[in-house]
Structure 1
Amino acid sequence: MVGWPLPVRAARLARGRTRTAAQGAGAPGLSHRIGNFVLFQLAWLAAVSGAAHGHVLAGCLVVAAVLACHLALAARPAREALLLLVAGLIGWAVESLQLRLGFIRYAGLAERALWPPPWILLLWALLASTLNLSMRWLHGRPLLAALLAAVCGPAAFAGGARLGAATFIDMPAALGCMALAWALLMPMLLALAERLDGVAPHD
């Protein structure tokens, strides 16, 4: 279950004006990045709570609305949409592997289910919507991104599990697998986000 509720990320947003100047005049403004951060948290909570309490469709609609808003505000929405799609599919594959390894189980799925629920795909796309905005400060910092992801990724999943959206079958193995996956994936996703950056206007 994707999610990255990073306190340090919010703190970094306060330095946005300096970072914006360093990244070019076309980089997104501070208010845009703060809004992205807040909407990510709200949509993540809606999706996870919806899954936990049998309101999956409602949670999915909230996430879809946030993603639609994100694309509507993007300078190059087609590029940003491609980023959301690719990240969503990568995340779907990772979550499918963990499910098949028997480390976790999602609420509402059969015990022997081989594929994660659709809201997982949407959550990975939601994460991708932060890569060029509220997590833009991690561009060009792969080691820091890997370290933070290895800690915060599993912590977010554990938070979702506490809300009832998932269950750990083998918690130590699951968290270890997640930490490794997040450490490997986050630098890759950030590099992809830089390449497909649809938020900043074309220079």
Structure 2
Amino acid sequence: MSKLLANALLFQLGWFACVLGGDSPWLLVVAGVLAVHLLWVSSWAAEGKLLLSVFLAGSALDSFLLNLGVYDFGAPRQLIPLWLALLWPLLATTLNHCLAWTAQPWWRASLLGAIGAPLSYYGGAQLAGVGLPLGTAQTLALLAVIWAAVMPVLHGFAKLYRAQYEQSLRSRQSA
């Protein structure tokens, strides 16, 4: 099995573990997915900064949207649940691999973000019982606009960290 296919399948496995398992021991599947990714598909040295940056930025974005009333998890909260936050590093694992083709030209990433992300959020909300207080159509339209900008930015993170990693490899080889 190619690493690109493995990357896509691992992402989907992690996505379902998060969305169907919620904040439960099923999140251990996500830890396993991330470990397999970092041990077989890539490495911590190559993508650790990317996974952490996307986790933090994405969690902040979704927590901001939660506080704006875009999501309803059934109880008052300021931060998104862990299962939703863990979807972000899972997404980051795909940027240099199965979704790398969307990085250039930039509009591919925007198009994928505008279409794929709202569908993913909608499916996840349906499976996880997350309410969309603004209404489905309004929420999906808002997410489409946001994600048309988010995906190129995420690819920018990936490109920056990839260049830093490659530079560090060159520096070590020439030393």
TM-score by length of 2: 0.86
Structure 1: gaps of 5 or more residues: 1-29
1:124 and 2:88 matched:
yes
Are positions 1:85 and 2:56 aligned together?
no
Unaligned runs of 5+ in 2: 171-175
Matched, 1:176 2:141: yes
Q: Which amino acid aligns with 2:110?
A: A
CA contact (8 A) 1:83 1:193 kept: yes
Q: Is 1:68 the counterpart of 2:43 in the alignment?
A: no
Q: Percent identity?
A: 37
1:164 CA drift (Å): 2.7
Deviation at 1:130, TM superposition (A): 0.5
Aligned partner of residue 95 in structure 2, secondary structure? coil
Report deviation, 1:97.
1.3
Aligned mates of 1:58, 1:162 — CA distance in 2: 21
Q: 2:128 aligns to what?
A: 164
Deviations 1:149-170 (A, max 9, x none): 1111011111011213411111
Q: Evaluate the alpha carbon distance shift between residue 75 and residue 118 of structure 1 in structure 2; reply closer, same or farther with a 3 A threshold.
A: closer
Q: Which residue of 1 aligns with 2:14?
A: 43
**Native 8 Å contact 1:95 1:116 kept in 2:** yes
3-state SS, counterpart of residue 103 of structure 1: coil
| CA 1:40–1:76: 2 relative to 1, 3 Å | closer
Q: Structure 1 stretches (4+) deviating beyond 4 angstroms?
A: 200-203
Aligned counterpart for 1:190 among listed residues 155, 162, 166: 155
5 Å-filtered alignment, 1:4-19, equals: none
1:186 counterpart letter in structure 2: M
Measured in 1, the distance between the counterparts of 2:129 and 2:56 equals: 20
Report the counterpart of residue 63 of structure 2 in structure 1.
96
Structure with greater proportional helix content: 2
TM superposition shift of 1:76? 4.6
Give the drift of 1:116. 0.3
